[in-house]
Amino acid sequence: MASRAPGHHGDPGLQPERTALAWGRTMLALVTASAFFLRWLPTYGPPILVLPVISGSAALAIYLTQRRRYQARSHGLAGESIEADLTAVLWTAFAGVVLGGLGIVVVLVS
């Protein structure tokens, strides 16, 4: 029996596609947050630049790992064993908490 190529799990619209769309929305939200942080630059000065660097780096990390994540989910679906990418979820949550905390610190200190 021939193995299936990544992305050919037999039913488009299943979990790998929805997960890829969700990560894409998360990436877009991080880029949008970066733009908002840059708008704060005249008010809060150079310390605010840490925030768009963190959110931009998180968005870039999502972009660079998206193909690997999709392929793993597609293979998992074909093999009927999908596991959550807990590391990616935890790092994204950590980045969100750090962004929120640093945003509060910059606003209160300035």
**What pTM value is reported for the model?**
0.73
Could you report the per-residue pLDDT of 51-87, keeping only the tens digit for each? 999 999 999 998 998 888 777 767 666 666 677 778 8
Q: How far apart are CA 2 and CA 5, in angstroms?
A: 9
How many Cβ atoms from other residues are within 10 Å of residue 10's Cβ?
8
Q: Report d(CA 73, CA 99) in Å as an integer.
A: 28
* Interval 27-45: pLDDT, tens: 999 999 999 999 989 998 8
Distances (CA, A) of 83 to 27, 71, 72: 21, 12, 9
